[in-house]
Every structure is written in structure tokens, then in C-alpha cells.
Amino acid sequence: MNHRESRFEPRPNLSRGLATLALGFVCCFIQRAQAIPLSIDPPDTRSYSHDDVPVQSPAPSSVQAAPPSASQILAPLASEATAATMPLSRYKIPSELAILREVGLEPGAQVDSAVEQGMNWVNQSLSAASRADFSQKCEQHFSNPNQSMQLTAGALACVPWAIEKLNVNSANRRESRSTSRPSGGGRLRSESDWRNHLRGVGFLDAFWRIDPQTNAELVAEANIAARIGQDCQYRGALAAFIARAEAFFPEQSAISAIEKVYPLAFTCLEPDDDGFERTHLRTGLFRLMQGETQKARQSFLLAAHAENPEEEFRSLFWLGVIDEGSSNRTATNVPNEYWELLRRRYPLTIHSVVSSHSLGVDPLSSAVSSKEANIARRLGNTWSEFNLAAFFLELLIARKEASNLTSFVKFTARNVDAPNPDALLFLSKCYNTAQAHKISIGTLTRYFKETQSQGLTLETMNMFFPRAYTDQILNSTGMVDPVIVLSLIRQESAFDPFARSGADARGLMQLLPSTASKWLANSRQELFDPSQNVRVGVKYMETLFKRYDGNVEHVLAAYNAGLKNLDRWRQRFPNANTLMFMDLIPFKETRTYVAIILRNAYWYGRLMALQRDSLADTIVRKSTQAKWRSVTVQNLLRLAWSQDPQNPDSRTALSQLYSLPATNQ
């Protein structure tokens, strides 16, 4: 028995319902539940050239001077301002007068001037000499360890400066692993190439060096991998070869190549390897397409055992689908443990929604916590960076200074890391009030992870699925479902009309000027106009709906990855059901994109049905009447609103979303 077999022992039980190995994996998942946070949004791999604010890891300040000690810069807060925790539903932004009186100030010209000076620091509109002078004055304001809890107007001006000073030591830049093609070197074809260049190489580097172009090359490289792959130093190359081979699916050469190399990857890949989850998950999907149900189950179990899984919800979903079709589970009425785990850990995903409805459980009542979410306006009785930021945010919101507020929200997201979930929720609420939806959503995502779904309430979900630019959407959608457009905008730009990607996609719906030029004369500038952007975006979507016979999943995939890519995938997987096709999309960004927009549409539909205001009623009505809409989402919503969730017609429509091909085992 090799080391891999001993780690995943016993192998023979993989094909028996929830037998020893399967139960072992489930136990492993449950034990990891506290260590791995709830995932609400699968990772978005796109980058934007506009101010893409890292909300989860504040960036270091540009201030070079050493920060003063805590005793030098921290001053007590008034006790009445430290009403630390309160229910989110009870929180209202205080008036400017109330906020200022907490620190001993009164509205007036001095406060106006102080806020302006503070924002000059935030906006970096001071000269180098002026910044140096300003820093020196601020050092004096915050240098007294016995400083009163009151603020002078001069100290008020220095609040942004103090936040940066406090952040110097605690800041922590996000690290992103590059997935770009490495420079130098060409494609490797021969066995000597593999031996000389791929031993010890990781998955991503190997992926760019292995690229068979023909069936003959695929077969030849599969033979090379089979000959030398028993040396586990080639495991990155094995995973990369399997990833490349799927481009030939469903040709028999691809199936044979994957099955030839996969046993070696099975033996060699470690759970913390980059290619571990992808290799087992993708192989599981291909096996499922071929009717190899129990082999697929084995692969999904391994995929879910990855060290830091990013697509665990997919593995759990298909494990649950396989178990739903198990005669043993049906006969003994054993609960579907995979779907139950999926619902607990990933409650908002479209996969969880489908599995919940399949189990006869309402996803909304299942996801929403019975406990009320709490927020913290202040933490403790010191001027920490969080307390300073919270105070200044409230002040700018109360003063209704939209431009300054937008700048300070970005400044806060860069420099302030909330130390607990209640503080995170407070920041997200402020960002939401400021209509900084991208930052608010990112902060809420972290909040949901840290609260392990206990923070999911109707109020936080309405913050997570904001309604913005609805007038422009309703005026432009025509035959297209406005909820789909709203859901797409949330994913594309998070409602930032000035969003601009590295590929030069612009505005709310992230349209390329070349695409928009068919409808706009000055597309480069006009795409930043919300009305024009939505109008043209909907026109473009209409062309896609006509091309793809109204199939929303295909339209969304084409919108993200391009028509040529989608056409290839449609040829490759012509008979895949809705969820299988979505999960088989080769580009992780695109399969994530499609899944998130379907998820958005479902939850927007659920939440707006509960709002009962005229705007929500109008959107829901136009959605149900639209020619171009998601049949998948509409069926799920009808099932949610039905008085009889066990209705046979609804159940049949639901099962067709993930029905399995005939088994070959």
C-alpha cells in the first residue's frame, strides 16, 4: 500500500452509499466547518483599473514616519458614544449635532474648515511641504497621553491623518498569486522536454508549457505522462495535462487520455497542491457525463478533501445528486448529508437553492438566522483607527457630503480593518448608506464568513443584494428580464458607473467601446453614463438572446467569455443539463460568473416579493412578463411561492436541472 492509499483508506468503500470512506469525508468537512468560513461569493478573478479597494486587507499607508505609541495617540471616548452593540434594525445615522456633541464640538465654520482640511489629506491634494506641516500639527494634537475625550476643531481635521498613522503597523497588503503566462520557453512535446523542464514544476507553470494541439499530440503526451508520472515530482504536470486534455472532450481520445493519466494524479496529488481540487472535480464531472457514477463519486469526494477548496459547493452538490439517485438511500430514507452540508455552509449559492428545493426546504427560511444581527458603532473607549473612522463616516453621512463621503469610504476600506463581525457590519451599513455598493458587498462577504451564516438576516441580505439604478433598468429592459439585468450589473460593476476593467470594459454593464460603437457614436465617454450604458447593454443582451434561443445560461457565458468560446462549449457539451453545463464551463471565472448571476436573480426575486413596495412590485411584474428571462430562476421562484412545494410538475422541472445520464456501472 503506498502513502496515498494509507491516507485515504479504505478505498473499497468508496462505492457504497454513505459507508466508511464517505462518512469519513463528511466528518472531515464538519470538523473543518469552524476553520473554513462560510463562502457567499465564489472568488471573482477579474481585475478593474478603477479604484479596486481591498476591503478585507487594508493597504499600507503612504506615511513614512514611525507611528506614535498607543499611549500617545489614543484618547478616551465619551461613555455615551460607546453604546457598543445594538441591533442593526434599530440603528439610524445620528444627526450632525448629536455626532459632534459626542466629542464636545458644535456645528459651524470651524467644523466645516476642519472637515475640509481632513478631506484634503484623504484626497492627497496638499503639496509635500503642506503635508509635512499638517503632519507636524497633527502630532501635537494627538501627542498627549492624558488628552481629554473631547476633540478640538484642529484635532477633528487630523482624524484621517491619525487613521493612517495607526494603520502603518497593522496594515497588511493582499497578496495575489499571478496566473499570467510565464515568460520564456515554448510548448513541451517530447519526453526529454518533460524530464528536463517539468519535474518539480507546479500546476500553473506546467499548464502554460503543456498544450497539445491535435489528437495525435494528445495521445503522445498521455503516453509520456503515463511513463514518467509514477515519479510524483511530476504531479503538477499531470494535473496540467488533464486540464489541457479536457479541451478535446467529448472525443474518445480525451476520455482515454484523462483516464490513463488520472490514476497517477490520484496517487500523487496532495490536498494542498494547486491542481488538486480542479483535477478531481473536473474528472468527476467528465465521469458523470459518461455515466460512470461511482467513479465520479470517488473523484468528487477527493475534490472536497482539498486543503483550501474554492469550489467545494459544486462537489457537495453532485455528491448529493448521486446520493439522491441511490436506491439504498431511497429505500432506507437516509438524509442526504451532502446536500445538508451544502445548505449549511454555502446557503446563498444557486447549488444550495436547488438542493434545498429538492429536499422540500425553503432556502430563505433555511438561510435566514432567527437571531438579530448586531452592529458596533464604537469599540471600547479609545480612539482606535476603527473608532476614528466610524466617527468620521457618520459625520460625513450626516452632513450629506456625497463627494467627500465617496473618497472617505475608499480611504477607510484601504486603512481600517474592523476587528470583529459587529464592527464589520457597522462599516458595511455605512458603505451601503453611502451607496458604495462594491465595498459594502465585499465587507458583507467577509462578515458572512466570520459569522458562519448567523449574520444572514433579511436586513443584511437586502444590503447584500442592493437595488440601484432601477429607473435606468426599467426604462431600458424591454423584453429582457429586469432582474437578470440588475443581477448582471451587481456582478459586473457592483453598481459603480465609473467602473473600468483592465480590458477597457466600462460602466455599469462593463461594455467594451468596440461592442457599444454599434449603438453609441462616442462610446468611450458615453458608456460612463448609466442610462446610456444600460440601454446599450440591454441591446447587446437582446442580440445574444436571439442567437442562443433565449437560453440565459448561454447568454451570460457569452457575455463574459465571448461568443466563440461559448460556441465551442455548446459543441463540446450539447446534451448537458443546466447545472451540468454551467459547472463544465472550462473557465473558472465564467462558470463562477454564470452561477453568481443566477443566484443573484433568485434572491432578488425572493427579497423583492417580500418588499411589497411599488418599485419591487413593478420589477417583479416586468420580470415575470419578460420574453427573455431565466426559465431556471423562474421555476425556482414559482416553487418557492407555491403553496405545495411537493407539486409533481414543479418537482419534475427541478430534477431536470441536474438529471444524470444513464449509468454505465
Burial class (CB in 10 A: 0-12, 13-18, 19+), 411: buried
Q: Which residues pair with 480 in a beta bridge?
A: 628
The average pLDDT across 648-656 equals 75
pLDDT higher than 60, residue 46: no
Give the pLDDT confidence of 522-565 residue by residue, as tens digits. 889 999 999 999 999 999 999 999 999 999 999 999 999 999 99
The 10 Å Cβ neighbour count of residue 35 is 6
N-terminal to C-terminal alpha carbon distance within the chain = 26
pLDDT in the model for residue 64: 40
458 with 610: CB under 8 angstroms? yes
Give the pLDDT confidence of 366-412 residue by residue, as tens digits. 899 888 899 999 988 778 889 999 999 999 999 999 999 999 999 99
pLDDT higher than 50, residue 514: yes
Q: Which DSSP state fits 231? A: S
The average pLDDT across 341-350 equals 95
Burial class (CB in 10 A: 0-12, 13-18, 19+), 654: buried
Whether 372 is catalytic: no
Measured CA to CA, the distance from residue 447 to residue 38 in angstroms comes to 10
pLDDT higher than 80, residue 291: yes
What are the structural domains of the chain? 70-172+380-455 (no CATH), 470-655 (1.10.530.10)
pLDDT higher than 70, residue 68: no
C-alpha cell at 291: 455515466
289 with 576: CB under 8 angstroms? yes
Q: Which of 492, 542, 553, 589 is catalytic?
A: 492
Give residue 169's pLDDT band: very low, low, confident or very high (50, 70, 90). Answer: very low
Give the pLDDT confidence of 298-339 residue by residue, as tens digits. 999 999 999 999 999 999 999 999 998 876 655 566 789 999
Lowest mean pLDDT among 285-299, 378-392, 510-524, 585-599: 378-392
Q: Side-chain half-sphere of 36: how many Cα atoms within 13 Å? A: 21
Q: What percent of the chain has pLDDT over 70?
A: 81
Give residue 69's pLDDT band: very low, low, confident or very high (50, 70, 90). Answer: very low
465 with 490: CB under 8 angstroms? yes
The average pLDDT across 107-112 equals 96
